[in-house]
Amino acid sequence: MPDQSILLVISGGIAAYKSLELIRELGRAGVRARVILTRAAQEFVTPLSVSALSGEKCFTELFDLDDEAEMGHIELSRSTDLVVVCPATADLMAKTANGHADDLASTMLLATDKQVLFVPAMNVRMWEHEAVKRNVAQLRQDGAIVMEPDEGLMACGEFGPGRLPDVPAIKQAILSALQPKRDLSGKHFIITAGPTVEPIDPVRFLSNHSSGRQGYAIAEALISRGAKVTLVSGPVALPPPAGADLVSVKTAVEMLGAVQNALPADGFISVAAVADWRPSSSSDTKLKLKGENAPAMIELTENPDILKTISHLSDERPELVIGFAAETNDMETHAQGKLARKGCDWIIANDVSGDVMGGLNNKVSLYSTTGVEHSDWADKASIAKWIVDRVADKLT
């Protein structure tokens, strides 16, 4: 997906601060944000903080001499791919539903010819009020997307529906609205991501530096194209993509079992950094030093080869099986060798000799029996889209 843009309206409410995180996360996904701050929103976030994160001028006033000399509210409403109101207050939704226009945000919302996505956040009693229900119904009837708020404890101390959805869920809704292409609808993909953890004793384990970011980004990109995704993940510090069926595991044995239980699938993408070995036995109590110079001996046994196992299934083999190869040297030789040994359809190789394994950016090479294709150096969300574009070409 080429770079796209949204016009983000931040209205007044304590949840407004989360819009700053949303701007940053969208930027990582290649989506630029121009922002309108309502007067009430400026009680919670400042135009300076918004501009610093978005890299764009922040708009606040309808009667701005410079902007309105060029009919700024019209230009803003048309020069975008999507209008997002986050957080959407009861007041601003009421204005839009009933055709009121008394400030820059409400005027723009009536002047736009683009899809509008509202992300409500308000007190539970407000959300459940009959007037708000009527306005939400009217907005949806008029063609707007109105997300359902989350349920939970609110800043006011009350509990119930009305909380702003989590930023990953909002981001996914925006990406889906920006990408109406749903060419992977009806397809099921199983993705493994993150490290595995192989216990030595109750406090020690064998693992690696995988952050899970690339696998999670691929899951998110697939979901945005309409796919059903089962995400089998080792321990990571990431929220699961909205819409993914998350299966949390620790060991390689558990990961293989989860993948097999999730079959059948149209595609299997083995992104996880699976430990090649595990201790032959794990102690139930913490192992103690023996003293002197006696080395601690750990007997290792080979872990199951998840990619090879799925590649060689006689029944329920996915149509497309993709493995990842994290290499530090001779990448092409190792990738082509792995492609032949594992029996998969593609190997996606990357050089992890720097900070790729735990970092935000990546560059990959896709190896198949017909040749090799190289991506540019980019953030992992962009790499995920590059991969998913090729998956869609193969399966549709």
CA geometry: angle at 325 spanning 347 and 228, to 5°? 60
Residues recorded for the chain: 396
Tokens in use for 148?
A: 């359902």
**pLDDT reported for residue 356:** 62
> Active site residue: 58, 86, 156, 344, which one?
156
What does the mean pLDDT of the chain come to? 89
Which ranges of the chain does DSSP label H, i.e. alpha helix? 18-28, 47-54, 65-68, 72-78, 90-98, 104-111, 124-127, 130-141, 167-178, 213-224, 252-262, 306-311, 331-342, 380-395
Higher pLDDT, 357 or 151: 151
DSSP state, 303?
P
d(CA 257, CA 190): 12
**pLDDT reported for residue 396:** 87
Tokens in use for 334?
A: 């190792």
- Least confident range from 134-138, 152-156, 291-295: namely 291-295
Q: Which helix (H) or strand (E) holds 320?
A: strand 320-327
pLDDT tens per residue, range 200-226: 988 888 988 889 999 999 998 999 889
**pLDDT reported for residue 251:** 96
Q: How many CB atoms lie within 10 A of CB 176?
A: 19
* Catalytic annotation present for 156: yes
Domains of the chain, each with CATH number or no CATH: 4-178 (3.40.50.1950), 188-395 (3.40.50.10300)
pLDDT tens per residue, range 228-251: 999 999 999 988 888 899 999 999
CA geometry: angle at 62 spanning 59 and 66, to 5°? 70
Q: What's the 3-state SS for 248-300?
A: ECCCHHHHHHHHHHHCCCCEEEECCECCCEEECCCCCCCCCCCCCCCCCCCCE
Q: How many CA atoms, within 13 angstroms, populate the side-chain half-sphere of residue 58? A: 20
Q: Specify the pTM.
A: 0.65
pLDDT tens per residue, range 349-394: 988 776 666 677 888 999 999 999 999 888 788 899 899 999 999 9
- Least confident range from 44-58, 80-94, 143-157, 219-233: namely 143-157
**pLDDT reported for residue 1:** 42
Cβ neighbours for 205, distance < 8 A, ≥ 6 positions apart: 197, 198, 199
Higher pLDDT, 202 or 71: 202
pLDDT tens per residue, range 252-271: 999 999 999 999 999 999 99
- Decide: 139 and 118 in contact? Cβ < 8 Å: yes
**pLDDT reported for residue 180:** 66
d(CA 174, CA 115): 11
Binding-site residue set for CTP: 276, 286, 304-307, 324, 338, 342
